[in-house]
Amino acid sequence: MKLSAILASKGSNVVTIDPTASLRELLLELTRHNVGALVVSTDGNSISGIVSERDLVHAFASHPDPYSLAVSEIMTSEVFVAPLEAHVDELMQIMTDRRFRHVPVTDDAGSLLGIVSIGDIVKSRLGELESEREALMGYITHGG
Ligand code: AMP
CATH of the domain at 83: 3.10.580.10
Is residue 101 lining ligand 1, measured as CB closer than 6 Å?
yes
Q: In whole angstroms, how large is the CA radius of gyration of the chain?
A: 18
Q: If residue 99 lies in a helix (H) or strand (E), which one and from where to where?
A: none
3-state SS assignment for residue 8: helix
| pLDDT at residue 144 greater than cutoff 70 | no
Q: What is the pLDDT of residue 120?
A: 93
Nearest to 6 by CA among 107, 116, 129: 116
Q: Which domain holds residue 100?
A: 3-142
* Spacing, Cα 138 to ligand 1 middle (Å): 41
Amino acid identity, position 22:
S
Contact indicator for 6, 36 with CB cutoff of 8 Å: no
Contact indicator for 14, 106 with CB cutoff of 8 Å: no
pTM: 0.91
Nearest to 6 by CA among 114, 106, 101, 129: 114
3-state SS assignment for residue 116: strand
| pLDDT at residue 60 greater than cutoff 70 | yes
For residue 52, give the ligand 1 atom closest to its CA. Answer: 4
| CA–CA gap between residue 117 and residue 137 (Å, rounded) | 30
Is residue 95 lining ligand 1, measured as CB closer than 6 Å?
no
Is residue 55 lining ligand 1, measured as CB closer than 6 Å?
yes
| CA–CA gap between residue 17 and residue 30 (Å, rounded) | 10
How many domains are contained in the chain?
1
For residue 100, give the ligand 1 atom closest to its CA. Answer: 2
- Model confidence at 127, pLDDT cuts 50, 70, 90, reads confident
* Spacing, Cα 58 to ligand 1 middle (Å): 12
* Spacing, Cα 105 to ligand 1 middle (Å): 14
pLDDT above 90 as % of the chain: 88
Is residue 60 lining ligand 1, measured as CB closer than 6 Å?
no
